[in-house]
Structure 1
Amino acid sequence: MDNTARRVVFPAEAVIFTEGEPGTTAYVVESGTVVVYKSVDGKTIEIGEVGQGGIFGEMALIDDHPRMASAKAREETACVIIGKDRLFEQMEKAPKGVRVIVNALLGNIRAMGAELAEASVILARDKE
């Protein structure tokens, strides 16, 4: 079981992970900025930005679904990488009711992320 967290620096515009791939790590931003985006109908739709102290990539670790979006460094960005074992060790300490709620929330967030990306594409088409 790997319980160590490690630090990595991503250069500007580096893709950290891609939508659809399995998630085995989560990231905490130490410095810099990460853009989270989806691809819909060949268009890139930005759905969020994560700055210092923020976490991203955690959803795929918790619910074992593929990554719902892609992430890339907007500028040079340092992150602490947290492995699945370490996250699960912490989740196991939480009461079962909390874990059920977290999983339900993740399902809702995934659905809202997909709807937001679709709505953005529709709005962009309407402006053309």
Structure 2
Amino acid sequence: MNNSARRVVFPKGATVFAEGEPGTTAYVVESGRVSVFKTIKGKRVNIGDVTQGGIFGEMALIDDHPRMASAVAEEETACVIIGKDRLSEQLDKAPKGVKVIVNALLGNIRAMGAELAEATVILSHDGD
């Protein structure tokens, strides 16, 4: 197994991954900026931006659910790629209780992300 980190550069506007895709990698931003967002009823709802030192895409690696959001490079962005096997190795070393807690937290985060995106769309229609 190859444990060396890979590096990739995304040009401005490039889609890193799309909502609903299976997740096989996480990303650590070395430079640049990535926007993470959900699409609800055809509207883009921003969840946040990730900049140098930030990590994104890790949730799908841990809980084997599809990507809960999309990620797009807002400027040229260099990332280190973390593969599922590498993260799994680290989680396998953790006590069982830690894995249970991590999975519970991820479930809560996914639910809150979906609820927040829905609420944002509903609130934006109130002003129409």
Runs of 4+ in 1 over 3 A off after TM superposition: none
Mapped to 1, the partners of 2:68 and 2:38 lie a distance apart of 8
TM-score (norm 1): 0.97
SS at match of 1:71: strand
TM-aligned CA deviation for residue 78 of structure 1:
0.4
The alignment's C-alpha RMSD in Å is: 0.8
Does structure 2 conserve the Cα–Cα contact (< 8 Å) formed by 1:4 and 1:86? no
AA in 1 matched with 2:48: G
Instruction: Tell me what 1:43 maps to.
Output: 43
TM-aligned CA deviation for residue 93 of structure 1:
1.2
Mapped to 1, the partners of 2:122 and 2:2 lie a distance apart of 43
Mapped to 2, the partners of 1:112 and 1:28 lie a distance apart of 23
1:92-113 C-alpha deviation (Å, 9 max, x unpaired):
1111111110000000000010
Instruction: Tell me what 2:66 maps to.
Output: 66
TM-aligned CA deviation for residue 2 of structure 1:
3.8
Instruction: Tell me what 1:120 maps to.
Output: 120
Instruction: Tell me what 1:79 maps to.
Output: 79
Mapped to 1, the partners of 2:40 and 2:4 lie a distance apart of 36
Mapped to 2, the partners of 1:88 and 1:35 lie a distance apart of 26
TM-aligned CA deviation for residue 3 of structure 1:
2.2
SS at match of 1:99: helix
AA in 1 matched with 2:115: E
Gaps of 5+ in 1: none
Q: Does 1:57 align with 2:57?
A: yes
TM-score (norm 2): 0.97
Count of equivalent residues: 128
Question: Kindly, what percent of the aligned residue pairs are identical?
Answer: 77
Does structure 2 conserve the Cα–Cα contact (< 8 Å) formed by 1:26 and 1:58? yes
